[in-house]
Amino acid sequence: MNARKAEPRVWEKVSGLLKDPERLRLGLVSLIEEERKGLKADPSREAKIWAEKIAESDRKRSMFQEMAAEGLLTLDELRAKLLSLEEARQVAERELEILQRRWERIAELQFDADTIMNYYAGMVPKLLENLTPQERHRVYRMLQLKVLAYPDGSLEMTGLVGQERGLCGDETSSRRRCSSSR
């Protein structure tokens, strides 16, 4: 589908959301809460546990090397223990990185939601309609908008707008598909 044909339909939906601040706020709050649910009970505690596992791995590495130096471990035993420690350390580093990315995503979602609510939501409809393509693009980025076009002419939007399917405005869309679902 041609982006020039799809964009007015997408903007109609997005600007409709921006003109209804309460609906937009509820959707943004819901999405951010859903992201937070993906975190374990206490993310700070979880991060501390993974950091401790990394530190423990480093301590054990040093201890095993000392044991090998004193002849208490063979080189093969040392290699096996160091390999096991390295694997455990990599798992802990990966989990810590995943946790950090989740925190960053939630912070980014919160920042974008605040910006949208404070600047764009409830904007005078005439001003919304006169946004430049660059300003619209900025709104789309803040909403983390992704649009999929289907062969029947319907569009699906995802991002901070939730999920909307069947955007109207194209005569090929059926009436049934034009009723947006969430």
The residue ranges of every structural domain in the chain are 1-19+124-176, 23-121
What is the spatial distance between Cα 146 and Cα 160, in angstroms, rounded to a whole number? Answer: 10
pLDDT band of residue 115 (cuts 50, 70, 90) is confident
Tell me, what's the pLDDT at 176?
A: 29
What is the spatial distance between Cα 135 and Cα 115, in angstroms, rounded to a whole number? Answer: 13
Whole-number average pLDDT of the chain: 81
What is the spatial distance between Cα 10 and Cα 169, in angstroms, rounded to a whole number? Answer: 9
The residue among 44 and 94 whose pLDDT is bigger is: 94
74-81 mean pLDDT = 94
Tell me, what's the pLDDT at 124?
A: 60
Q: Which of 85-89, 93-97, 100-104 is the least confident region? A: 100-104
Residue with structure tokens 């955007």?
167
17-41 mean pLDDT = 78
As beta bridge partners, residue 146 has 158
Per 3-state DSSP, the chain is made up of helix, strand and coil in percentages (nearest 5) of 70, 10, 25
Token readout for 116 is 């949208």
Residue with structure tokens 């054990």?
60
pLDDT higher than threshold 90 for residue 161 = no
Query: Contact at 8 Å (CB) between 162 and 174?
Result: no
Q: Which amino acid is at 16?
A: G
Indicate the pairing of strand 162-165 with strand 146-149.
Answer: unpaired
Radius of gyration of the chain, Cα coordinates, nearest whole angstrom: 25
Whether this prediction's pTM lies above 0.75 is answered by: no
Query: Contact at 8 Å (CB) between 7 and 147?
Result: no
As beta bridge partners, residue 158 has 146, 163
